[in-house]
Amino acid sequence: MSCGAKKDVSRRDFLRSGAALATMQLAPGVTLMAFGGSEAQAAADAGKRWGLLIDASKCAPDCNACITACQDENGWKGSGNAETDVQWIRKVTLKDKSSGRETSLPVMCQHCESPPCVDVCPTGASFKRKDGIVLVDKHICIGCRYCMMACPFKARSFVHEHVTNQKTHAPRGIGTVESCTLCVHRVDEGRIPACVEACEATGHGAMVFGDLLDPESEISRRLAEYPSVALRPDLDLNPGVRYREI
Amino acid sequence: MRASLLIAGLIAMLASAVWAEGQGGLGPVIPEATGKAHPEGNDYMRRWHMSMMRHDRDVTMYEGKRDQNASLGGCFECHAAKDETGTPVTYADARHFCRSCHDFVAVRVDCFDCHRSTPEGVEEPPAHAALGGVLSPSLGADVGALVAYLGAWEVGQ
């Protein structure tokens, strides 16, 4: 499996470096055609692992720009019923009982390296892309919600109600489970997730997005520079989302 | 035997003539599309559109290649059937492009439980949601009506 993935990468790299259109004769009468292209035509790359670094000390308690940006980008919203409303990202307040100090931070799918939601999924709908982004294939999700029980971060939601006016890039509907996609449609275009962009726009700059495998990326440099933690490190899931100052 | 063959042949000829025209008669009424015709031809699209979309959806979702030729969103760039006011209709409307054939063959596709059935920017009214599920549109839209319906059924038994 991993061998096959490697082959794909090298073939794509080869196509990118070469002509715009390449054809490959697989068997008599069967021709594989592939369009090579610019960096803008990016795709899931096994050589990358996307992650987030969230600095809780910079996250303002009264700010929810990341949440509204996520709602606008992916087209989910509350219907006023807190028990069944979906939440792709939420603000969590931690309180140190002895000192009374409060910390505010956003929590979303942690995009684990060993995701429990993928382990338990009976249909294979819950999956991890080769660049580390954990997604739900809603075409084969049966809505059993086993992943919701398995997730230690309560990151997944079940869609209880009929949905209209979905975004073309973020299909979502009744009877399936969903969660943060790390704005995979933007990442594939070389852009950053909507929450990170919104956080930057407010001036807080509490979120950094980048490739954890690239030692030169800003996220990797910051992770090397100062201490950070994963949520529930005891579970050894190696999440792609890490926190500072919590 | 010969007569029944003759009749079957006659029906097939009629059906194919109607299908070739694509409008009225025994076949479904297929809304006019804008844009260029598919280079593959309409017969190819009728036979293979579902396979094209299924293949490309997997390539998009698992491999992140988002410059695919076949996509549901792409269909509606040309195949957005419009109502009297010139607004593209949703899947809740029997004139919707996908429904024109799928209704004819009595198949309810569930693509539009998750995917929008209009081009981006064209509002889908709440009535569209009522179409989902096995309930009738009026019952699906209104939980109160459903409860009343079930209550009445219980009393009736």
pLDDT, tens digit, 9 for 90 and up, residues B19-36:
544 455 688 888 989 989
**Separation between Cα atoms, residue A95 and residue A127, nearest integer Å:** 34
Nearest CA in chain A to B61: A137
- Same domain flag for B48 and B68: yes
Domain limits, chain A = 2-35, 50-244
Number of domains chain B contains: 3
Residue A205 in tokens: 């700059």
**Count of alpha carbons within 13 angstroms of residue A71, beta-carbon side:** 12
Helix (H, G, I), strand (E, B) or coil at A5: helix
Cα–Cα distance for residue pair B34/B83, rounded to 1 Å: 15
CB contact under 8 A, B113 and A162: yes
Residues B55 and B94 in one domain: yes
Q: Do both B119 and B59 map to the same domain? A: yes
Reading the block at residue A159, the tokens are 């869609």
Inform me whether the C-beta atom of residue A167 falls under 8 Å from chain B C-beta atoms: yes
Interface test with A, best of B50, B56, B113 (most A CBs within 10 A): B113
Distance from first CA to last CA of chain B, Å, rounded?
51
pTM exceeding 0.80: no
Contact in structure between B59 and B65 (CB atoms under 8 Å): yes
pLDDT grade, residue B94 (50/70/90)? confident
Phi, psi of B150 (to 5 degrees): -65, -40
Angle (CA) A121-A155-A146 rounded to 5° is: 25
Task: Please check whether residues B23 and B81 belong to one and the same domain.
Answer: no
Topology classification of domain A50-244:
Alpha-Beta Plaits (3.30.70)
* Per-residue confidence in pLDDT tens, chain A, 246 aa: 344 444 444 444 444 443 444 444 555 545 444 443 334 446 899 999 999 999 999 999 999 999 999 999 999 998 888 889 999 999 999 999 999 999 999 999 999 999 999 999 999 999 999 999 999 999 999 999 999 999 999 999 999 988 999 999 999 999 999 999 999 999 999 999 999 999 999 999 999 999 999 999 999 999 999 999 999 999 999 999 999 998
List of chain A residues whose C-beta atoms are within 8 Å of the C-beta of residue B130: 162
Residue-wise pLDDT for A161-204, tens only, equals: 889 999 999 999 999 999 999 999 999 999 999 999 999 999 99
- Average pLDDT of the residues in B111-140: 71
The answer on B84 and B135 residing in a single domain is no
Query: Whole domain around residue B2: which residue ranges?
Result: 1-27
Are B95 and B136 members of one domain? no
- A139–B65 C-beta distance less than 8 A: no
DSSP string, B71-100: -HHHHHHH---B-TTSPBP-TTSTTSHHHH
In A36-154, beta strands by DSSP E: 50-55, 89-95, 102-108, 126-128, 134-136
